[in-house]
């Protein structure tokens, strides 16, 4: 089996060659991802085959967000934190290069594992994802993500945690 490494974005990673087949995600990596990372808007994680490899096999971004709940009945309000918003982790973008088929799930698992690890220090009740199209919605749904709003899905942190510790 091919081994993969996950590392923070660095200058030697070749963004121009990356092609996941979705122009908006290619362009994001080429033009905005580094700026978002520099400005602490989203953390950019890169998947490579070998250490110090410049070829990007895939990438994802992570940041925190909050989910504002509205109109919950009293019995729910008793059982979840009494705040209008629930803290969450957000996988904003996730894409793999066309030449690395079958690695999307590895990117997703690394992102989930990282969220679970961070949740020991920074509370997050769920992991949200932004799906760019219907294909992406189906991809996340297969792994048990549930619809949050139109193109957003979520996985409860407790579910992710039980996966990692099992």
Partner 1 sequence: MATVSKKRTHRIAGARLKKSSHFAKKVASRAGRFLKKSGHSIKPLGIQLNREESLVVAEALVHPPAPNQVLINAFHAYKQAVAA
What residues line the site for partner 1 (CB under 8 A)?
1-6, 65-73, 76, 79-80, 85-86, 88, 105-106, 108-110, 112-113, 125-126, 128, 142-144, 146-149, 152, 154, 156-160, 162-164, 166
Nearest approach in angstroms of CB 144 to partner 1 is: 4
Q: Which residues contact 143 (CB under 8 A, 6 or more apart)?
A: 105, 108, 155
Which H or E element spans position 91?
strand 85-96
Q: Which is nearer to partner 1, 16 or 39 (CB)?
A: 39
Smallest distance from the beta carbon of 16 to partner 1, in angstroms?
Answer: 25
CB of 34 to partner 1, least distance (A): 20
Rg value, the chain, Cα: 17
Nearer to partner 1, 22 or 67 (CB): 67
Q: How far is the CB of 129 from partner 1 (least distance, A)?
A: 11
Q: At what angle do helices 157-165 and 104-118 cross, to 10 degrees?
A: 100
**Residue with Cβ nearer partner 1 (16 or 142):** 142
Beta-bridged to residue 44, according to DSSP, are 61
Q: To which residue do tokens 């994001």 refer? A: 28
Which CB atom, from 11 or from 74, has the smaller least distance to partner 1? 74
Q: What span, in angstroms and rounded, lies between the C-alpha atoms of 3 and 25?
A: 24
Residue 162 to residue 135: CA distance in whole angstroms: 27
Q: Looking at beta carbons only, is 1 or 16 nearer to partner 1?
A: 1
Burial of 34 (0-12, 13-18, 19+ CB in 10 A): middle
At its nearest, how many Å lie between partner 1 and the CB of residue 98? Answer: 18
């Amino acid at each position: 089996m091919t081994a993969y490494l996950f590392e923070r974005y660095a200058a030697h990673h070749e963004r121009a060659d990356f092609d996941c087949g979705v122009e908006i995600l290619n362009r994001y990596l080429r033009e905005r991802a580094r700026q978002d990372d520099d400005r602490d808007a989203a953390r950019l994680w890169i998947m490579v085959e070998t250490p110090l490899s410049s070829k990007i096999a895939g990438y994802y971004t992570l940041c925190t967000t909050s989910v504002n709940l509205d109109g919950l009945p009293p019995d729910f309000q008793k059982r979840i934190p009494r705040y209008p918003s629930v803290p969450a982790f957000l996988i904003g973008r996730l894409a793999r290069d066309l030449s690395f088929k079958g690695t999307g799930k590895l990117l997703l698992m690394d992102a989930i594992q990282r969220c679970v690890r961070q949740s020991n220090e920074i509370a997050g009740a769920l992991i949200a994802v932004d799906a760019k199209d219907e294909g992406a919605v189906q991809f996340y749904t297969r792994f048990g993500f549930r619809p949050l709003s139109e193109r957003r899905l979520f996985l409860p942190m407790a579910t992710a945690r039980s996966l990692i510790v099992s």
